[in-house]
Amino acid sequence: MVEPRTPVLVGVGTAHADVEAAELMARAAKAAQTDTGASGLLAATQRIAVPRGTWSYTDPARIVADRIGAHTPQTVLADVGIPQQTLINDALEAIIGGQVDIVLIVGAEAKARAARAGRRGRAADAGGIVQVMGRRDPGSEPAGEIDQHGATPGIHQTPTDEIVSRPEIEAGLWAPVEQYALIESALAAAEQAGVAQHRRQIAELWARFNEVARANPEAAFNEPMTTAELETFSGRHRPLAFPYGKWHASQWTVDQGAALLLCSAAAADRFGVPRARWIFPLVGLESSLSVPLTNRRAMHRWDAMRVLGRAAAKHIDRPLADCDHAELYSCFPVAVRVQQRELDLPVDGTPTITGGMSFAGGPFNNFVLQATAAMARRLREQPGLGLVTTVSGLLTKPGLAVWSSHPSDRPPLVADLRDEATEATETIEAVSDYAGDATIAACTVTYDGQNPKELIAVVDTADGTRAIARTSDIGLATRATTVGLVGGRVTVAAGRFF
């Protein structure tokens, strides 16, 4: 018997169209209600939560509420830096605690639409109205209010911890692709993988993700890419930060929306949602601990995710590797590779059902909604357990969910394991003004077109601290693309090394 306050995921919806982001959200929400096999849930929704995107809406949930006919829901906007899993966990706790019965979580991006408008010589604003010479184009998409006239959400969630440290900012090290590439080099060094072997491992993993995307009808980029193509830089696969090229990165120039409808078991029964549609959350975990990359002593590890994984495995009474389906957050290959190791998943596996953010599409700050929608569909088709993870920041704040096609005999485990993650994470001080001998702990190469431009290194200093340094020595930068430099000795002065 399912207890009345048990939270259940009853409807999922996705949307792909040449419309502005709020309209994508509304369409995804309506698709989620259709997916329930019942009616009336959207009108009765008591909370609508939206993770912030690249758009400029001030209260996007209010726009969605108006378009779906929701009467007086509480609106929530979660800024970047709030893990997407947090919105799900908040909904689960509110349903369990009896504060609400029905919650809609929805997000979307329309960056591909904006890019198309740009190529036409126009500028599409976040509200979807095209501006020409400062005037509204009457032929543009009539997609709602651009200016919400100062509307504010009922709840505005903002992060309080830093994702990028002051020394990283001062050194200009804030681009995600550069930070993730540094993590790759630290992982390769820790596993004693040579540069060629390391590149092949990345390419093989991403080729398997690409193969999954080819079978995904909703994938935004499902053209075949072989291991060889993903291992070699080219015009199609231009270098970004070694060892990464264009198709190793999350592709956020997409038009994608996704929505999740969650409610209490009692509400699901009341609205007539068939029990065959119900998906049960067994685990909803996160860690709000935020430790910037250069402050993590072991840059190739993610202790906070390991903490979440062990707690989840204990709760479901089996290893996470025994989950029937998995979608690991895949902004860059090393995000997947580190998670595989911390969650004790097979390192030669293919933990995706979508094809990942490079090929299925990575809509900025709502891919977890896309992943969860895909997981719900998969669990209905192939019953069992499904693992979905979240990355917030630069392997900073993790999230982890386990969903099931069958109810559990215990309540879901919903928690922020910040304290446990803090205890498990060994830190180191990062400094901005170091001068002296040091050892390379991680490095990457940036590019000018196809040519190496600069070598960036995170170094462990003789003082027991950590610093960031660069060199424009093209010969050394080129050498770093063929020979591992981690562990090498350098001299640092004024943010440069030689």
Q: Looking at the domain assignment, is residue 316 inside a domain?
A: no
3 state SS for the chain = CCCCCCEEEEEEEEECCCCCHHHHHHHHHHHHHHHHCCCCCCCCCCEEEEECCCCCCCCHHHHHHHHHCCCCCEEEEECCCCCHHHHHHHHHHHHHCCCCCEEEEEEEEEHHHHHHHHHCCCEECCCCCEEECCEECCCCCCCCCCCCCCCCCCEEECCCCCCCCHHHHHCCCCCHHHHHHHHHHHHHHHCCCCHHHHHHHHHHHHHHHHHHHHCCCCCCCCCCCCHHHHHCCCCCCCEEECCEEHHHCCCCCCEEEEEEEEEEHHHHHHCCCCHHHCEEEEEEEECCCCCCHHHECCCCCCHHHHHHHHHHHHHHCCCHHHCCEEECCCCCHHHHHHHHHHCCCCCCCCCCCCCCCCCCCCCCCCHHHHHHHHHHHHHHHCCCEEEEEEEECCCCEEEEEEEECCCCCCCCEEEECHHHHHHHCCECCECCCCCEEEEEEEEEEEEECCEEEEEEEEEEECCCCEEEEEECCHHHHHHCCCCCCCCCEEEEECCEEC
What pLDDT, in 10s, does the model give residues 341-368? Answer: 999 999 999 999 999 999 999 999 999 9
What pLDDT, in 10s, does the model give residues 196-230? Answer: 999 999 999 999 999 999 999 999 999 999 999 99
CA distances from 326 to 320, 337, 349, 390, 411 (A): 9, 14, 10, 12, 22
Q: Looking at the domain assignment, is residue 331 inside a domain?
A: no
pLDDT of 136 above 80: no
By CB neighbour count within 10 A (0-12 exposed, 13-18 middle, 19+ buried), where does 228 fall? exposed
| CATH number of the domain to which 142 belongs | 3.40.47.10
What pLDDT, in 10s, does the model give residues 473-484? Answer: 999 999 999 999
What does pTM read for this prediction?
A: 0.94
115, 132, 157 - which closes a domain: 157
The reported pLDDT for the residue numbered 117 is 87
List of residues 6+ apart from 352 with CB closer than 8 A: 209, 212, 326, 327, 328, 330, 360
What pLDDT, in 10s, does the model give residues 154-197? Answer: 999 999 999 999 999 999 999 999 999 999 999 999 999 999 99
pLDDT bracket for residue 1 (50, 70, 90):
confident
Q: Looking at the domain assignment, is residue 45 inside a domain?
A: yes
Mean of the per-residue pLDDT values for the chain? Answer: 94
List of residues 6+ apart from 103 with CB closer than 8 A: 45, 46, 47, 48, 49, 91, 94, 95, 261, 262, 263
The reported pLDDT for the residue numbered 38 is 98
Q: Which residue has the tokens 């979807």?
A: 128
- The distance between the two most distant Cα atoms of the chain, rounded to a whole number of Å, is 70
The reported pLDDT for the residue numbered 125 is 44
What pLDDT, in 10s, does the model give residues 236-295? Answer: 999 999 999 999 999 999 999 999 999 999 999 999 999 999 999 999 999 999 999 999
What pLDDT, in 10s, does the model give residues 78-120? Answer: 999 999 999 999 999 999 999 999 999 999 999 999 999 888 7
157, 185, 213 - which closes a domain: 157
The reported pLDDT for the residue numbered 146 is 52
**Structural domain boundaries enclosing 458:** 436-497
* Number of Cβ within a 10 Å radius of residue 94: 20
Mean pLDDT for 9-35 is 98
Q: Looking at the domain assignment, is residue 295 inside a domain?
A: no
101, 134, 157 - which closes a domain: 157
Two tokens, residue 438: 């040091």
Q: Looking at the domain assignment, is residue 111 inside a domain?
A: yes
pLDDT of 423 above 70: yes
pLDDT of 497 above 90: yes
pLDDT of 395 above 90: yes
| CATH number of the domain to which 457 belongs | 2.40.50
Query: How many structural domains are present in the chain?
Result: 2
Q: Looking at the domain assignment, is residue 73 inside a domain?
A: yes
Q: Looking at the domain assignment, is residue 481 inside a domain?
A: yes
